[in-house]
Amino acid sequence: MELCYRSGGVPTGESLIPVPGRQQRKLAVRADPASGGKRKRRRDEFSGHTREAHEVNEADELAGEDGTFEVAAILAKRRRTMYIQGIQIPGLTVPKSMYRNWIPPLPISDEKAVLKDFLGGEDARKALRIEIGEDVFTAVSLDCFSIYRPHKLAAPHRKNGQVYEMKFANEFVSLHDISLKPDRDVWYLDGVLHDGRRRTYVQRVPFNLLSIGGYENFTQHTVRSHIWLQSVCGQKHDVWYCLENPSSEYRRYYDAFLWLADFAKHLIDFMYNNDTISLKMLRANFYNWLQEVHGHDLAFQQWLAEYPDSDFRCVAAAHPQFLYNEARQLGPGYALHPIWGEVHTKMLNAVPNQESQEKKTVVTPYVYNCFKSVWGKQMELRQPSRATFRACEDRKKTMRFTVPIHHHNTMPYCLPTEERVPKVVGRSKVRVGDVVQFPNDGKNWKGKDDVWYAYVQGIDKPKDRTALQIIWLYRPSETTCSKMHYPSANELFFSDHCNCGDPKTYEDEVVGKTSVAFFESSKPSNVDYFIRQKYVGDETAFVTLKESDFQCKCQLDPDNAIYQTGDTVLVSKLVNGPAQILEPVEIVAFAPEGSKSLIRVRRLLRRGRDYGHKDAEPNELVYSRRFENVNTKDIIRRCHVRLYNKRSKERKEIPPPYCRKGTGDAFYILCKEADSNVVGNELQELEEPSQISLRQGFDPTETHPQRKLRGLDLFSGGGNFGRGLEEGGALQMEWALDWNKWAMHSYRANLQDPNRVKLFYGSANDFFAQALNGKCSDLIPQLGEVDFISAGSPCQGFSNANQRPGSDQSLRNSSMIASVASYIDLYRPAYAILENVPSMASRSHEPNENPFAQMLCTLVGMGYQVQQFVLDAWSFGNPQSRSRLFILATAPGLDTPPKPPLTHSHPERTTNRSLGQAANGHRFGERYWGPTQLDYVTIGEATADLPDNHDGRVSCIPFPDHQVTRNESTLTRIMIDHIPRFPRSQTFVKACKANQMPPIQVQTFHWESQFRAREGSRSWERVNPNALVPTVTTQCQPADSFSGAWVHWDASRCLTVMEVRRAQGFPDQDVLVGSPAEQWKLVGNGVARQVALALGLSLRQAWLANGHVYSESPATTVASEIACSDPRITPTVATRRETGVTPGRLPRSTAGPRSGVPRAKEGYAALHDVPGRKAKGRVGSSKELAIVLD
């Protein structure tokens, strides 16, 4: 058979063809031997299971948007040896009749002659006549059919002048796509017509009418035998073709259509049975109604089994126009159901649009004063109304922004009157509590100030010179606020930087004293400076000043956290276990007084890794009967473990965070190890919590007595950020706003109660202007109602992908972080989180225009405690190379959320990075390194369960969003076919240099673009399935030379919406409203769900601390089955410091009294993620084992 390249597909059969050879010989696809690939085998002797580890040989260059970050060349996760036992031939995209020398099954007949022959006599007409209700028509059966598009030619190509076919010309088309354009286009069919006696083959028959029957009939369970087409010729004779079986090459298109047509019937019947149908009803009642009406029918059960969920909202959102067209044809009443206003892209009205009136970024006077040097032209200062101003002042007082935080007796309010004026001390006596001045030595610090300030915490009086024990005080410019405008010129910051371990500082070096008011929110008139916050150098965080801060940590006993038997913790370096991995264990006993710092733990083994269950989630544990003695220094942090049953997992009823595959240190248990006398069954299912001794983690389904924080979701997008934060358990969003129609309707579609959250579909500037004016509205929260604000402000102005950062639109987008600051200034929430790209802190901005530092100045100037984290999406389970900057603001005096612990490892060759350089020359915002409990997730692993959608031409039944956003031309698909699959990460340019690309593709490529034609161009690059996918942006642009890695690793298409949803962590049940391109945009604009969840759990920890709630479940007794082999170990209680890290001390060779902020020891970068800790044990009088960090 001679083939012509009209279709872009290889016209062969669809069966799985075995590789020839004796006994089905396996063909191994291996790496180039020159790459040095090795395989290692290790054995975990404790668990008795063997695992294989593969060294990495293959690099995947991943571009990012990280500004000053050093972007890593991240290696592929592992190189697997693949054994091919057969080849799956891709299906055809055009009918066989389009190929030369193809022989039809029967001689080709003329349709007009066939109909004349079939309808020749009255008896023949009567035999073909069908009555359905009031409709009477003539029906002829159509078998072995194919449906395809007409042949059209495009204009001559601008490169070579040749004429090619139009996009999709002669290609197969699904029948539900035909119904989207009724009476507009002509389509073609090939097939066999028969009247029960004669069979004739017709080819290229034009038609334009499709009819589906069986609606509003509850006794009919499927529409399979009630689908008709009417050709142009058949309209003259009132003849319809009843569809029977499709051709083999067209079957994949028709099977998908049949399933969707049955869904349309069931949905319309559901509407017929109810007055109003909405997405909420579709989720709550549709499945049960289906089972009640059709559950006894076998065909229906087969249809239902093809969709793996009881929630059909995603199906309705993926095909709204087809469903609406089918329903609307039955009567105008069907068009009135609310569901169309929720999902139909042309009818969205569930969230009313708010008229836009503001043209500039509306800000408060305070914020304008802070940002006017950066975006003065883009902002508009707006004064609040009198009522709003009074309410705002009351809110500030309530949240303790304008009142002293601490009422103290031990520390002076300010220095004595006679010593307030700075002066040369000379023989004047320096006392503990003084704030003194030292000359700037000009060596390491960037500041140009003449003097430094320090607080005297102690005095040593040897015989020769009096030495001072001091804690340095910082100016705003000496913190991460840098040289940006700070609103309080007379404010200083306490620090955690003492002179312990430095060369001694002597009294005769003091050049003056300064009067300072502590704990005040503004400078009193009778002092020089005020201090209300402490700057923590190791974390570059601003926190509320406490009385304990007046003595450095070197002088204090460390804080301890209490552990009890039954607690679950993560430990490192288990005996017989991998050295650099964290393992969950249950504490079952502690060492008695006088013995070594050992604890007895029960190993909670991984069901997938240690027992070989391939379907087990990575965070599914087994309650084992194996115990181990562990040193207390190896306890890293707590973890959450809950018991669920098998039925909960099958019904997808395990709630977050436990269903998020390990994010947030959350694990679950379904079974335990069987007793030793049980034969043939290694594991037994657990049903009751009483069967285990561990103290379970918190139950997210229980109502907590503490009121949740009420949240305002700014720039909410589709809600992935807000919902992830909510899943932490401390927060409930009550207001959300976004200007994008599809984003707001997607947000609404995923609410359990659409009326619970007030949705503002409009401009953030209009929203804020109304709030300033005190407008009474359900959509606008009143002052005092908002406890939490989250904001993923537009990042386009800061993104490295933006080629016009100085344009008006880019500057307007960038200025929206000033809008976020204004929202915080007005509402004064307890907590706020701002998300943006790390390049917001990049040095590429103009001098004195650092938006990140100015945001810090603005928030700290308000009085907020401020932290900043740069979180990598892959460190929390996202298979994506995405790093984002988060700024957290906490009201004065409240507990701050800890930095989310990393749960997944870094890819190989990940390099260090930082946000910038502090005034002391040290880098801040560096990437955290340390052991984790899970490997990072590759994009191949995250999408392994998705069905094969080789060319993206067919709808996917189980995953409706598994569809492409780009409909490529035939020439483009041929080009994609010729980009090699191996080695991974091949591009168009690489394929050309390897002579893999047909000449026509080479001729028509954009070689005039120097970026696309360069050596390292990523244009049309295949994604490496064994690595991370690049940062998901708002568009799929495979031709882009910098971010073009969007071609699937094996298939002849770009990635689908479902695949990038997995990369961003969108749960499969989440609904996205809009076309595939709009859905992709919603995904790219969102925050990775696992990162949001991790932040939500950190917020929960602070929320509980502020509510004086610690333990969510009562202590349980250790089960009697624990038989400690060591008689010295008895159950008791252990305490261990977990809330902080002892600061590292500078070497004594450091020059100057203030040569640098003390840096944490290697690996001590996080609040409570502390790998490689050194510990020593001591036994207290209460028989508590205290684990104290050095």
3-state secondary structure labels for all residues of 164-233: CECCCCCCECCHHHHCCCCCCCCEEEEEEEECCCCEEEEEEEEEEEEEECCCCCCCCCCCCCCEEEEEHH
Residue 900, SS3?
coil
Per-residue CA distances from 895 to 120, 195, 532 (Å): 89, 80, 15
Q: Are 936 and 77 within 8 A, CB to CB?
A: yes
Within a 10 A sphere around the Cβ of 1026, how many other Cβ atoms? 23
d(CA 70, CA 447): 26
- CB contact at 8 A, 388 and 773: yes
Strands of the sheet containing 1175-1179, edge to edge, are 561-564, 1133-1136, 1184-1189, 1175-1179
**Candidate list 392, 414, 795, 1054, residue with the active-site label:** 795
Question: Could you tell me the two tokens for 364?
Answer: 């408060």
- By the 8 A CB rule, do 57 and 31 touch? yes
CA distance 761 to 739: 5
Q: Which residues have a Cβ under 8 Å from the Cβ of 851 and sit 6 or more positions away?
A: 374, 798, 814, 817, 840, 841, 845
DSSP run (H or E) holding 749? helix 741-749
Angle at 1184 between CA 1180 and CA 1185, to 5 degrees: 90
Pure H helices in 687-729: 720-726
Q: CB count, 10 Å around CB of 224?
A: 15
Question: Comparing C-alpha atoms, which of 1173, 1178, 1097 is closest to residue 1141?
Answer: 1173
What is d(CA 1115, CA 1133) in angstroms, rounded to the nearest whole number?
12
- Give the span between the Cα atoms of 217 and 284, in whole angstroms: 22
Which residues sit opposite 231 in a β-bridge? 207
Q: CB neighbours of 609 closer than 8 A, spacing ≥ 6? A: 49, 51, 618
**Distance between the two ends of the chain, CA-based, in angstroms?**
78
Query: Three-class SS of residue 1086?
Result: coil
| Beta-sheet pairing, 129-132 with 135-148 | antiparallel
H or E element at residue 343: helix 339-343
Report which of 235, 254, 236 is spatially closest to residue 145, judged by C-alpha positions: 254
Q: Which residue has the tokens 């969102």?
A: 1086
The residue among 504, 494, 442 whose CA lies nearest residue 471 is: 494
Question: Is the peptide bond between 657 and the residue preceding it cis, with omega within 30 degrees of 0?
Answer: yes
Does residue 1036 carry a catalytic annotation? no
Amino acid letter for position 1148: R
Long-range Cβ contacts of 504-508 (<8 Å, 24+ apart): 504/460, 504/467, 505/438, 505/454, 505/467, 505/468, 505/470, 505/1153, 506/465, 506/466, 506/467, 506/468, 507/425, 507/430, 507/459, 507/465, 507/466, 507/467, 507/468, 508/465, 508/466
- Nearest-CA neighbor of 169 among 89, 95, 233? 95
β-bridge partners, 586 = 568, 602
Element (H, E) at 362: strand 361-363
Tokens describing residue 150: 């007409």
477 touches 498 (CB < 8 A): no
In our burial notation (b when 16+ CB lie closer than 10 A, e otherwise), range 614-636 reads: eebbbbbbbbbeebbbbbbbbbb
Active site residues: 795
